[in-house]
Copies of this chain bind each other. A is one copy, B any other.
């Protein structure tokens, strides 16, 4: 017979920034996703899944110029160069539109907005959805930064304000608590306050986002250096903005001047005064979270001393649905940085089922009897499987040991004749004859 033509040996490797997850990691990650999903469902959020691949027309321009560059573009299939005019081949920029029209999903918000626009007629607003899927970004890979990572998002489309905010806080508290996080801080601010501060400072309103970016630095460098930086350029930041003062009475006096915030003050006061071992709410007047995207409350969760930055974030935003021709609806969302959270929590992974399993080791029994033993165990609710071949018994037992399996049910012609097994309890070095109909009970 013809010999199969073997391909050359290939070095097994992954592209940089991408990861495999072995059994223990898959179990741990899966449990974390499920924990969050259950909490989302408890609050009436419904699951949505969108494809990995979206049209470039849907994605482009949604993530800023930098974001557009970080899209993983998919090459058109077939002879994509056939109809490209010669002059288009001059540069990457001119060639691009001819050879690619799709890209990998960059986040979960834009695909959700697209979906809501497509299904607006059938949906009941406010529409509450959650989505737990990977996203892809062509970032330079770094320690802890990957090119494929999961996002866990909840969003409510067609609502904004205090009640959704309180819901987000409760979801964050329940989710982080269940994942084993303690001592997290929910940093809270509102766009209206930032605008008020810009006006007070006399900052040119045409450059509001530069104001926010600069203010946002207070988290890293502190309030005084930021204040000094503004002062150097002749801008005097109001003292009530000092984030170190927290939710001071001077700050509250300012907030009470803002029609967007004044009615919420008593509730905010209570929220902020509530101490909690998992998640405490703090007002953070300098939190900006990047630019024009947000329209109301903004928030970011950090864990002091965790060694990672924000572990969840979100805010009120214009939902993007109208960009896709759908209704113009406000929205509010919270995204869990689940990959970061998993790096520093001891979130329990569900027990490896191996520990509970039985290996059926066999020598001269019939395959039918071997299978019968496995089936008997399954029917008794015990995970079990047979060693694939009647190799030396010591080899089969070593396999069970290396996989961490406690019980080995040994069968040969003798056991088949008497419908029993030799049941060995590996860690306890005990071996007894057990009739088949008592086997499942004996392995509990």
Where the two chains meet, the residues of A that have a C-beta atom closer than 8 Å to any C-beta of B are 1-2, 4, 6-7, 9-15, 18-23, 25-27, 29-30, 41-44, 46-55, 57-58, 61-62, 69-70, 72-75, 77-82, 89, 91-92, 95, 99-102, 104, 111, 114-115, 117-119, 124, 126, 128-129, 134, 136, 138, 147-148, 156, 159-164, 166-167, 170, 195, 205-206, 208, 264, 266-267, 270, 292, 318, 322-326, 352-354, 357, 359, 366-368, 370-371, 374-375, 378, 383-389, 399, 402-403
Contact = CB atoms under 8 A, between A and B. Distances in A.
A73 B118 CA distance: 28
| Integer count of this chain's copies in the complex | 2
B44 A267 contact: no
B325 A388 contact: no
A384 to B, nearest CB: 8
Given A9-B324, A44-B357, A164-B388, 12 more contacts: A12-B114, A12-B324, A13-B57, A13-B114, A26-B49, A41-B353, A41-B383, A74-B74, A80-B92, A167-B388, A170-B371, A270-B368
A367 B51 CA distance: 38
A327 to B, nearest CB: 12
A15 to B, nearest CB: 5
Given A12-B325, A14-B55, A323-B6, A389 B161 contact: yes
A22 B44 contact: no
Given A4-B292, A53-B15, A267-B366, A74 B77 contact: no
Contacts of A368: 267, 270
A71 B22 CA distance: 25
Specify which of A10, A80, A160, A353 lies most central, judged by the most chain B CB atoms within 10 Å of its CB: A10
A6 B319 CA distance: 12
Contacts of A359: 44
A409 B322 CA distance: 33
Contacts of A352: 46
Contacts of A353: 41-42, 44
Contact of A375 (B12, B58, B170): B170
Specify which of A49, A54, A326 lies most central, judged by the most chain B CB atoms within 10 Å of its CB: A49
A143 to B, nearest CB: 18
Given A208-B1, A371-B170, A51 B323 contact: no
A80 B100 CA distance: 13
A325 B11 contact: yes
B55 A161 contact: no
B20 A49 contact: yes
Nearest to A388: B159
Chain A: interface secondary structure? mixed
A138 B307 CA distance: 42
A398 to B, nearest CB: 9
Contacts of A162: 367
A187 B366 CA distance: 23
A92 B102 contact: no
29 contacts: A1-B195, A1-B208, A9-B324, A10-B324, A10-B325, A11-B324, A11-B325, A13-B57, A14-B54, A15-B55, A15-B101, A15-B102, A20-B48, A21-B48, A21-B49, A23-B46, A30-B47, A44-B403, A69-B78, A72-B74, A74-B75, A75-B99, A75-B100, A81-B95, A89-B89, A124-B402, A161-B388, A163-B387, A264-B367
A370 B51 contact: no
A4 B124 CA distance: 28
B75 A13 contact: no
A73 B72 contact: no
A126 to B, nearest CB: 6
B167 A386 contact: yes
A389 B159 contact: yes
A7 B62 contact: yes
